[in-house]
């Protein structure tokens, strides 16, 4: 299944150069970057949701959601927004775990398995280079 495209913007004055935002994140992966990437911050807004969702990031341009092991899982509980910041000591960067690519998807299941899209709109914002 082809990935969806996130809107992107350049964050002036920040350490990161790109911000991907998806206003309807789901189980269809979105490829943010097709080459190596560093993750700085991620916000998962599930304030419209009645159940928990799990944002998953993959070191792949074409991950198989539900099968490939995600490098990152960020939960957002029902009616909540989760914000996670990766602050490398010395202020010089985030986490450069994505040697191949950076893709994202959001499902209702934790862990690797599961392909159930969120029942309500989930807005995800990811800062990366």
Site residues (CB under 8 A) for other proteins?
Answer: 39, 47-48, 54, 59, 68-75, 77, 79-89, 95-97, 109-113
**Cβ at position 129, least distance to other proteins in Å:** 14
Judged by CB, which is closer to other proteins: 5, or 87? 87
Judged by CB, which is closer to other proteins: 10, or 45? 45
How many CA atoms lie less than 13 Å away from 16 in the CB half-sphere? Answer: 24
Pairing of strands 30-33, 102-107: antiparallel
CB neighbourhood size of 61 (10 A): 16
Q: Cα separation of 24 and 26, whole Å?
A: 6
**Cβ at position 4, least distance to other proteins in Å:** 22
**Cβ at position 46, least distance to other proteins in Å:** 9
Judged by CB, which is closer to other proteins: 10, or 32? 32
- Say if residues 22 and 124 touch (Cβ distance below 8 Å): yes
């Amino acid at each position: 299944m082809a990935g969806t495209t996130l809107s992107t913007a350049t964050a002036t004055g920040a350490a990161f150069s790109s911000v991907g935002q998806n206003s309807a994140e789901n189980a269809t992966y979105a490829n943010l970057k097709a080459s190596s990437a560093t993750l700085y911050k991620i916000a998962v807004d599930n304030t419209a949701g009645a159940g928990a969702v799990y944002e998953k990031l993959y070191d792949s341009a074409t991950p198989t959601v539900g099968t490939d092991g995600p490098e990152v899982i960020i939960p957002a509980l029902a009616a909540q927004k989760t914000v996670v910041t990766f602050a490398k000591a010395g202020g010089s960067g985030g986490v450069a775990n994505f040697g191949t690519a950076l893709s994202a998807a959001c499902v209702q299941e934790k862990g690797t398995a599961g392909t159930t899209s969120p029942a309500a709109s989930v807005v995800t914002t990811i800062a990366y280079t």
